[in-house]
Amino acid sequence: MLDERKLKVLYAIINSYIISAEPIGSRTLSKHYDLGVSSATIRNEMSDLEELGLLNKPHSSAGRIPSDKAYRLYVDSLLKLDNFILDEKKKQQIKNILVSESQEVDHLLQTSAKVLSEITNYTALAVSPHLKSSKIKHIQLLSIDENKVLLVLVNNSDIVKSTIFNLDKSITNNQLNTISNFLNSKLKGLSFEQLNNLIGPDILYDLYEYKDILEKLIPIINKSLDDSEYVELYSEGITRLLNYPEYKDLDKAKSILSFIEDKDLVLEMLMDDALCNEIDIVIGTENNYAQLKNSSIVTATYSIGGKTIGKIGVIGPTRMDYYKLINTLKLFSINISEILEKLFGK
């Protein structure tokens, strides 16, 4: 157990290194932090922290840098904070951007990853809901304008797949409700896998009056079902990592970029059952993948009806501003969940 003074010195080094990416010496700490002790005492504390495995000393410098063990101690203290203050103004700004893309879940997540990458300057990732084994709870057709219709497929976990399509002629909301009710009577309670086998041309003859619309609608439903068999990954800002000195080494840069570009590998990492908390942080050598030993992965979940349905997160150097990042990811998690809940939760 570290005493208060050692913790103050350690956290000061971490905060300084996050900003500068340069090894931190006792003089820097004395100049920028009011630790209430002399430089000699700070040097002694730094030496003790190094012996405890919390600081590393690069060969070419007299300063110290935090170890992964130090970051873990620091991050765990942040995650325990009861007074973590969310920036409501920033939350609303993010929501205003995301809500314009909220009619399509895929577009919402892609935009979320893009905006998250721009805000954090890290590589951002978002994972879509997986619908394959779910059952249809509700099908709804909604008129957006005279010739544009929104198809919404809701499963028993309130996870949604939505698609917008155009019709050759206008249709009323009453007609759309008739078709929706018909489809629900035929398909409600079936799994998406069963639906893929059952939806076909024969269904047209049960509602022949709307044959033209159904002929266009059935392929769209089938495509939505096909798409639902896969968990989709959205990544943005892959090359942003090259802005950080940690990835200036060509081999390290190639290694991390090749990992991020491997969709199956990234999904395998993100879908790990160990990463199931509201916020998960995996630091450096804690990663199971050799390509990530110099990086941290921070993820947040989003949900509908209190049920976790997907994740959003970032990859960056272990030298992250974890406090700001946790705050930002919480804002994205809340916003995505609120948008999906408002649109599809019922």
Range with the largest mean pLDDT of 194-198, 212-216, 249-253, 282-286: 282-286
Say yes or no to pLDDT of 346 above 60.
no
- The pLDDT score that the predictor gives to residue 29 is 93
CB distance 43 to 26 below 8 Å: yes
Domain span at 160: 136-227
303: in domain: yes
pTM here is 0.74
Residue 136, token pair as written in the block = 């249809």
Distance CA 329, CA 336 (A): 10
Distance CA 290, CA 135 (A): 39
- The pLDDT score that the predictor gives to residue 333 is 94
- The pLDDT score that the predictor gives to residue 65 is 95
Give the CATH number of the domain where residue 56 resides: 1.10.10.10
The domain boundary, picked from 227, 242, 273, lies at: 227
In the structure, what pLDDT confidence band is assigned to residue 164 with cuts at 50, 70 and 90?
A: confident
- The pLDDT score that the predictor gives to residue 104 is 73
What is the percent of the chain where pLDDT is above 70? 85
340: in domain: yes
Instruction: Please write the tens of the pLDDT for every residue from 24-57.
Output: 999 999 989 988 899 899 999 999 999 999 999 9
Which has more confidence, 230 or 148? 148
What is the percent of the chain where pLDDT is above 90? 44
- The verdict on 112 and 252 lying in the same domain is yes
- The verdict on 116 and 248 lying in the same domain is yes
- The verdict on 191 and 262 lying in the same domain is no
- The verdict on 160 and 221 lying in the same domain is yes
Q: Which residues of 44-72 are buried (b: 16+ CB within 10 A; e: fewer)?
A: ebbebbeeeebbeeeeeeebbbbbbbbbb
157: in domain: yes
The domain boundary, picked from 203, 227, 251, lies at: 227
CB neighbour class for 297 (10 Å; exposed up to 12, middle 13-18, buried from 19): buried
- The verdict on 176 and 199 lying in the same domain is yes
- Ordered DSSP codes for 108-146: HHHHHHHHHHHHHSSEEEEE----TT-BEEEEEEEEEET
Say yes or no to pLDDT of 319 above 90.
yes
In the structure, what pLDDT confidence band is assigned to residue 136 with cuts at 50, 70 and 90?
A: confident
- The verdict on 172 and 196 lying in the same domain is yes
- The verdict on 100 and 248 lying in the same domain is yes
Give the CATH number of the domain where residue 310 resides: 3.30.450.40
78: in domain: no
81: in domain: no
Averaged pLDDT, 7-28: 94
- The verdict on 193 and 106 lying in the same domain is no
80: in domain: no
The domain boundary, picked from 177, 209, 227, lies at: 227
- The verdict on 276 and 290 lying in the same domain is yes
Averaged pLDDT, 295-313: 89
- The verdict on 305 and 217 lying in the same domain is no
Averaged pLDDT, 73-102: 85
71: in domain: no
- The pLDDT score that the predictor gives to residue 132 is 53
Least confident of 66-70, 132-136, 194-198: 194-198
- The verdict on 333 and 235 lying in the same domain is yes
- The pLDDT score that the predictor gives to residue 124 is 97
- The verdict on 146 and 210 lying in the same domain is yes
Q: DSSP assignment, residue 280?
A: E
Residue 161, token pair as written in the block = 């797949």
Instruction: Please write the tens of the pLDDT for every residue from 190-222.
Output: 766 566 555 555 666 677 777 777 777 777 766
Which has more confidence, 122 or 90? 122
76: in domain: no
Other residues' Cβ atoms within 10 Å of the Cβ of residue 164: 14
Give the CATH number of the domain where residue 215 resides: 3.30.390.60
Q: What is the mean pLDDT of the chain?
A: 85
Q: Coil, helix or strand for 234?
A: strand
As for how many domains the chain has, the answer is 3
